[in-house]
């Protein structure tokens, strides 16, 4: 494997494939795969078999490096990171993996579409605020196409590589910075504008010459919330959601847990305290001291040296009022008729959001 390919796979999988093969080479001769129960590698990784004789799963690891076994021989790895599954397998053994099911379902590409055009648009919302929006058009754009929309507060450029797979499959890809974030105009007030901004963006897409008026959305966490917020607008152009570990409402799941202030949200407010996302601000060694500060609205002032308007606004509302009702898409659930694929896990810290999304 050449160096660029190894670097790209490492970024995608959060695991270095070259290092992975180097680690496992000595294990080939251990005889571990002759067992029918769990085993531990020489470096402490724990594995156990599944009902699929070819798949052994790793426990207590993130991401888990699962094994593909054939006749007591390791022939590949299966690694899932959020919504991305990567298969590394020796040629000739593809049929032992999920690749076979994908092929049978017509999900594997025989020929990928190429990018025909990419451009940035400042899409105007109903109040005149313009949101930075990246559009990727595949080479079959001469025919009106369906669109996959991603809306994010973390910087749209972070999603270009992973979501480009939709362009390769012949969809238009649209990735947008939410209001007040990255290159978009406006003030950052988490969740407050997402219903209307989502609707306005979807209806802008539907009116483009390359659009067939069929738009789907995909995303996780905050990128899940914006989907349900947009769907609650009742826009007829939104046709599908892929909602992964979705954040719930600010009063029930994120800023408050059914009225109780959620300390875990503070780290997120630190990381989104500037227009650009700064994940390094999640890491501090003074959390215990900060958690003792009262009133709560002063925690970020003490920690950053300045106020964060969005956080201060949330701290003014400690009961369910019109402010929270505006962001509570569940109150408009009767407007949602969009089919959705909902993905989560038993230990998802946004489990409440997923529960809210279930019918």
pLDDT more than 70, % of the chain: 96
- Local structure of residue 88 (DSSP, 8 states): E
Rounded to the nearest integer, the mean pLDDT of the chain is 90
**What span, in angstroms and rounded, lies between the C-alpha atoms of 244 and 341?**
8
pLDDT of residue 29: 58
**What span, in angstroms and rounded, lies between the C-alpha atoms of 25 and 276?**
43
pLDDT of residue 166: 96
Instruction: For the sheet with 340-343, list strands across it.
Output: 115-124, 130-138, 172-177, 145-152, 211-220, 238-244, 340-343
Q: Is the pLDDT of residue 240 over 90?
A: yes
Q: Lowest mean pLDDT: which of 30-44, 124-138, 154-168, 328-342?
A: 30-44
69: helix, strand or coil: strand
> Which has the higher per-residue pLDDT, 73 or 284?
284
pLDDT of residue 27: 66
Q: Is the pLDDT of residue 224 over 90?
A: yes
pLDDT of residue 114: 96
130: helix, strand or coil: strand
Angle at 334 between CA 332 and CA 339, to 5 degrees: 105
């Amino acid at each position: 494997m050449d160096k660029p390919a190894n670097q790209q796979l490492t970024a995608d999988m959060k695991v270095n494939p070259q290092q992975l093969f180097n680690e496992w080479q000595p294990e080939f001769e251990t005889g571990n795969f002759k067992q029918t129960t769990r085993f531990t590698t020489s470096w402490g990784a724990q594995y156990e078999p599944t009902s699929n004789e070819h798949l052994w799963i790793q426990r207590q690891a993130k991401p888990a490096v699962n094994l593909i076994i054939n006749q007591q021989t390791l022939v590949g790895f299966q690694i899932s990171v959020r919504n991305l599954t990567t298969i590394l397998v020796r040629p000739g053994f593809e049929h032992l993996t999920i690749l076979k099911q994908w092929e049978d379902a017509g999900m594997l590409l025989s020929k990928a579409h190429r990018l025909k055009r990419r451009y940035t648009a400042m899409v105007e919302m109903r109040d005149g605020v313009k949101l930075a929006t990246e559009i990727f058009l595949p080479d079959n754009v001469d025919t009106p196409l369906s669109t996959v929309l991603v809306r994010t507060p973390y910087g749209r450029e972070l999603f270009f590589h992973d979501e480009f797979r939709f362009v390769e499959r012949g969809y238009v890809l649209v990735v947008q910075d939410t209001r007040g974030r990255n290159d978009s105009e406006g003030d950052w007030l988490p969740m407050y504008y997402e219903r209307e901004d989502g609707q306005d963006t979807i209806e802008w897409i539907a009116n483009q010459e390359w659009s067939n008026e069929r738009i789907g959305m995909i995303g996780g966490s905050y990128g899940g919330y914006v989907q349900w917020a947009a769907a609650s607008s009742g826009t007829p152009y939104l046709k599908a959601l892929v909602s992964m570990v979705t954040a719930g409402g600010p009063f029930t799941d994120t800023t408050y847990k059914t009225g109780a202030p959620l300390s875990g949200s503070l780290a997120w407010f630190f990381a989104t305290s500037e227009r650009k996302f700064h994940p390094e601000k999640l890491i501090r060694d003074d959390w215990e001291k900060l958690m003792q500060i009262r009133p709560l609205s002063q925690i970020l002032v003490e920690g950053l040296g300045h106020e964060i308007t969005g956080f201060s606004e949330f701290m003014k509302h400690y009961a369910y009022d019109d402010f929270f009702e505006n962001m509570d898409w569940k109150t408009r659930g009767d407007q949602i008729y969009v089919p959705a694929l909902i993905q989560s896990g038993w230990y998802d810290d946004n489990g409440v959001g997923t529960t809210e999304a279930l019918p």
